[in-house]
Amino acid sequence: MSGDGDSTRSVHAGLPPAGQGEPFLPGPTFQAGNHWSGDGAPDGYGRTGNPTWSRYEAALGELEGGEVVVLSSGMAAVAAVLLPILEPGDVLVAPADAYPGVRVIATDHLAKRGVEVRLVPSDDAAILAAIPGATLVWVETPSNPGMVLLDVAALVEAAHAAGALLAVDGTVATPLRQRALELGADFAMASASKYLSGHSDLVLGYVATRDPAHGQAIRAWRGLTGAIPGPFEVWLAHRSLPTLAVRLERQEANAAALVELLAEHRAVTDVRWPGMGAVLVFTLADADAAERFLAASRLVTDATSFGGVHATAERRGRWGTDAVPDGFIRFSAGIEDTADLVADVRAALEA
């Protein structure tokens, strides 16, 4: 199937062979202790194995080009890479300006356990300069909320030359727009709470790798710490996968149209969109202007997170976790009709 297009691959990913009278995607398996005889194996207990997880992992594995382990959230996936690998004396290079979870684990937990933490801006030159001596380099591209695109292949080359592993958080891109393992990364991680599930109704994450030892280590960590997803959430996410490509196409068309509107608008500065995905960011005069914009819109829901079918936006500064201007808006284009969304945003800007 590797020669097939994105939509074809999303539709068929992870589905079992057609069986007479069988559904396309078998329903979720709810299990704790199963009927199980003979030697112990992962599938014998619900914290260590589940056929619903396995089907979704196979699906994501086809899209990412590696072995996938699904976890209870994007942050559980982050922790499953960082915590088992890094030991006292090791060096972690991590983004100072991307999704805050990684840097909080790094500064509040890893640094206290003797890991040297180097926080650097999401910028190729800054990351390259921090790599010598590193054990693990963590990057996020496009970065959230700065929407900076990094050169993964160049960073992989430098990390490997220095004997370091490289992990990429590709949540903002999805495996349809960026396949970090193909670019040589050791880990491709994403929050599936965003585009992958696509309906803003569940929390899920995963790690992909091509090294069976890493896959096994993450699986063991998941079982040991119980960072496991519910089978129903995983089934819902798998059910949403066939529409990923069409959702993304509409979201990108909407994002592109909004960028065109915003770039011309006198009330707006610093519009940034990485040219892929639904997330665009821009700045209004101040916090008041941003709140007025959010309140005035009819179609855009004031909500955090991104990648869902409904247009959402938020004043990012409200969390106090990112160094952004007070009037900074992070906007996620939904799958609404382009003309409706553009008209609504134009009207809200005038309000």
Ligand X SMILES: Cc1ncc(COP(=O)(O)O)c(C=O)c1O
- Nearer Cβ to ligand X (160/310): 310
- Contact stretch for ligand X (CB under 6 A) within 4-12, 71-79, 234-242, 342-350: 71-79
Tokens 């180097």, residue located: 118
220-259 residues in contact with ligand X (CB under 6 A) are: none
DSSP 243: G
Q: Is 346 tagged catalytic?
A: no
- Contact stretch for ligand X (CB under 6 A) within 36-44, 50-58, 69-77, 270-278: 69-77
Residue 148 and residue 348: Cα distance in Å, rounded? 27
- Nearer Cβ to ligand X (84/101): 101
Residue 211 and residue 2: Cα distance in Å, rounded? 20
Q: Does residue 171 interact with ligand X by CB under 6 A?
A: yes
* Nearest alpha carbon to residue 90 among 106, 74, 101, 76: 106
Buried b (16+ CB within 10 A) or exposed e, 187-226: bbbbbbbbbbbbebebbbbbbbbbeeebbebbbebbeebe
Over the window 129 to 158, marking each residue x when it contacts ligand X by CB under 6 A and - when it does not, the resulting string is: -----------x---x--------------
Instruction: Say which of 6, 47, 302, 318 is annotated catalytic.
Output: 47
- Contact stretch for ligand X (CB under 6 A) within 43-51, 72-80, 122-130, 241-249: 72-80
Q: Is 315 tagged catalytic?
A: no
CA angle 107, 111, 112 (to 5 degrees): 110
Size, binding site for ligand X by CB under 6 A: 15
Instruction: Say which of 99, 179, 186, 222 is annotated catalytic.
Output: 99
260-319 residues in contact with ligand X (CB under 6 A) are: 305
* Nearest alpha carbon to residue 186 among 141, 240, 225, 137: 137
Tokens of 336: 């609404």
DSSP 108: I
- Nearer Cβ to ligand X (52/171): 171
Q: Is 112 tagged catalytic?
A: no
CB of 242 to ligand X, least distance (A): 21
Looking at beta carbons, which residue is closest to ligand X? 74
Over the window 94 to 113, marking each residue x when it contacts ligand X by CB under 6 A and - when it does not, the resulting string is: -----x-x------------
CB of 60 to ligand X, least distance (A): 14
- Contact stretch for ligand X (CB under 6 A) within 164-172, 218-226, 308-316, 342-350: 164-172
* Nearest alpha carbon to residue 152 among 117, 196, 122: 122
Three-state secondary structure call for residue 279: strand
- Contact stretch for ligand X (CB under 6 A) within 20-28, 129-137, 166-174, 206-214: 166-174
Tokens of 73: 């959230």
Residue 347 and residue 282: Cα distance in Å, rounded? 16
CB-based contact 167:194 (threshold 8 Å): no
Torsions phi, psi for 67 (to 5 deg): -90, 135
The strands making up 328-332's β-sheet, listed across from edge to edge, are 269-272, 279-283, 328-332, 312-315, 301-302
- Nearer Cβ to ligand X (191/209): 191
- Nearer Cβ to ligand X (331/349): 331
- Nearer Cβ to ligand X (202/345): 202
Q: Which of 62, 169, 186, 336 binds ligand X (CB under 6 A)?
A: 169
Query: What are the catalytic residues?
Result: 47, 99, 169, 194
**What residues make contact with ligand X under the rule CB under 6 A?**
73-75, 99, 101, 140, 144, 169, 171-172, 191, 193, 203, 205, 305
